[in-house]
Amino acid sequence: MEKDPQNREQEFSKHDNDWKDFFKTKFNQEPGVHLGGNEPKNKKKFTFSFWYFFIILLAFMAMNTFMATRQANVQSIDYNQFKSLISGGTIKRVAIEEEKYLGYTFTREQALGQLQDTNRTADVLVQSFSTYKVADDPTFIPLLDEHKVEYYATAPIKPSLLSSLLGYLLPIAFVLLIWRFVFSKMGGQGGQGVLSFTQNKSKIVAEGDTGVRFADVAGADESKYELEEVVDFLKNPDKYTEIGGKIPKGVLLVGPPGTGKTLLARAVAGEAGTPFFKMSGADFVEMFVGVGAARVRDLFKQARDNSPCIIFIDEIDAIGRQRSAAGIGGNDEREQTLNQLLVEMDGFDSRTGVIILAATNRPEILDPALLRPGRFDRQVLIDKPDLDGRHAILKIHTKNIKLADDVDLKKIAQASAGLAGADLANIANEAALLAVRQARKAVTQADLEEAIEKSVAGLERKSRVLNEKERERVAYHETGHALTAYMTEGSEPVSKISIIPRGLSALGYTLQYPTEDRFLLSERELLGNIDTLLGGRAAEEVVFNEISTGAGNDISRASDLVRRMIQEFGMSERYRNITLPTTQSGIAGVAGSREFSEKAQEYIDTETARIVNERYAIVRQNLEKNKNALITITKQLLENEVITGTEFQALAKSEVIV
């Protein structure tokens, strides 16, 4: 996934400099890593107030110390010494405080200033003494009277508002400081996370104009076509609402990583000229419960304020995963976030012009509630690119690269079957780096080939690149499905055969689109479906005389179908029109209990095996008869990677002998 490159970087550096400069001048060192990294936009505000607060605090402390030193020439003495200073006549005036006596000695000097002429004198303070009161000394006041010492009592000193405020604030500031420090140590964004839980990270990535257009996305023509409609919704909403139509709120982009889902979402915003809010599903999920929900609220509020606009939620499976039924192992935070998302999606009127695009590569784990009408009810499939698609993507990504004359991008496209757009972009870049390393002025074919090797070796675990033998086997397997479907009466027409690896387990696939909506399948059609499923393995056996693991999924689906025919649909000989139900246990991995006899179970097992074997033999025989057709079509498939429905029908028509 792409990580919205420049925008964020620029914003960070701009705000970061403020505090970095401060840090440098103040402490003569670079700021620690704990403040850097993914700090978002709002850090500026926080950093500023934080440092100002710190400086003010220092100023107060300095002031306090200064005030304290002003009283420093008060000499603290013992009580009896104090008394003897009174009787000795040194102390002339006594201030009686709550806990202390303060004694002052004066000299009478000629007054200064305006009083100079009048020859008057004024008292000038020479020294102050202080002592703690001795409780209930009845001789003290008489002593003062006796020596004619002036005395007066002062009101107890109340702590000033300022100092009591400081008394409260200082510990709080201290705790906050430690908290921030600890969380920033715990990982980049913690400090921000703690002090601004609910602030929306999507603010950071709201782009005015994404600068991406449909022309920047190669291949994916069908997906583009579907998304063009979304652009039209955003541009001319009235066209749809005037006749009472509802504009869809959410579109789910489904496809493996790196196939350009983010790019397409950006292109939609770019084409429609609307702002683009991007968040990743994982951004919502924080360690504090409720934060994710608050973020969702915030995101939608922002989007409404900026409508028309696009919200893009990448990796929606992080929050959209099916909610747990029993509450065991549930994740409150994620579920709250998901609920909030559902509430927000239901709550807004599609006329506000906010359309939510979301991307996932695992649509099957999403909560069904997300896919209901009025939510993500549209799905757009973005698959790995075919040969032409790869060629086009390579063209786009080599546009700004100087290519030598010997470069043949078509060949590179052929050699990179199974790779996604992001991998191809990476290959183009890697080739350029290789050329530079060798001090060449242009990228050669050899550079590109080496780049493929490099990225394929690195990607081996990540994505599937089949070797020649495997490709051939997969091609025969898929052609086997397609031909069997063609030869089977009542089977739906083949609309596409592909040997571009897709998803996590499929190495190739044969698509059959029903010509009409089907609610019922006849026994004959069910058997036709089973035949088609078995066709892949049968073709492998016909050509290679051995079978492989590639058919695992087909076999299990075929056997399952046969079992259902017997148990659910009452289509077996012995239990014709009788169901043999199994109750579902409801707990994954635990088998349900059956409601029929052991004997019936035995019958189900042997009958399933008999039917599957019987069908397999027929399918194999048919393919054997049409081995030539199998070989011709497979060759074409190996060359083009994809055969469309019409191409296939034409080929089959001329080759197949029934």
Least distance from C-beta 392 to ligand ADP, angstroms?
A: 7
Alpha-carbon distance 247 to 354, whole Å?
Answer: 10
User: Among residue numbers 254 through 283, which ones bind ligand ADP (CB under 6 A)?
Assistant: 255, 257-263
> How many residues are listed for the chain in this entry?
658
363 binds ligand ADP (CB under 6 A): no
Total of residues contacting ligand ADP (CB under 6 A): 20
2 binds ligand ADP (CB under 6 A): yes
Alpha-carbon distance 486 to 517, whole Å?
Answer: 19
Residue nearest ligand ADP, Cβ-based: 421
Beta-carbon contacts of 471 under 8 Å, excluding residues fewer than 6 positions away, are 417, 499, 638
Least distance from C-beta 380 to ligand ADP, angstroms?
A: 12
Alpha-carbon distance 160 to 148, whole Å?
Answer: 34
Q: Provide the 8-state DSSP code for 493.
A: P
Binding mask 50-69 vs ligand ADP (x if CB under 6 A, - otherwise)? --------------------
Cα distances (Å, whole numbers) of residue 262 to 269, 478, 505: 11, 31, 23
Least distance from C-beta 213 to ligand ADP, angstroms?
A: 11
User: Among residue numbers 412 through 431, which ones bind ligand ADP (CB under 6 A)?
Assistant: 421-422, 425
Between 61 and 365, CB nearer to ligand ADP: 365
Between 187 and 211, CB nearer to ligand ADP: 211
Among the listed residues 341, 359, 456, 565, the single contact to ligand ADP using CB under 6 A:
359
Q: Looking at 271, 333, 478, 540, which residue is catalytic?
A: 478
Least distance from C-beta 217 to ligand ADP, angstroms?
A: 5
Alpha-carbon distance 101 to 132, whole Å?
Answer: 6
Exposure letters 552-589 (e unless 16+ CB within 10 A, then b):
eebbeebbebbbebbbeeebbeebeeeebebeeeeeee
- Contact yes or no for 612/530 (Cβ under 8 A): yes
Between 261 and 481, CB nearer to ligand ADP: 261
Closest CA to 144 of 78, 93, 81: 93
Binding mask 310-349 vs ligand ADP (x if CB under 6 A, - otherwise)? ----------------------------------------
Binding mask 534-563 vs ligand ADP (x if CB under 6 A, - otherwise)? ------------------------------
Between 262 and 444, CB nearer to ligand ADP: 262
Q: E strand or H helix at 494, and its extent?
A: strand 494-498
Tokens of 101: 């006596």
Binding mask 189-228 vs ligand ADP (x if CB under 6 A, - otherwise)? ----------------------------xxxx--------
Q: How does strand 494-498 pair with strand 354-360? A: unpaired
Q: Is 478 a catalytic residue?
A: yes
Alpha-carbon distance 414 to 408, whole Å?
Answer: 10
Q: Catalytic residue positions?
A: 478
Residue ranges in contact with ligand ADP by CB under 6 A:
1-2, 217-220, 255, 257-263, 359, 393, 396, 421-422, 425
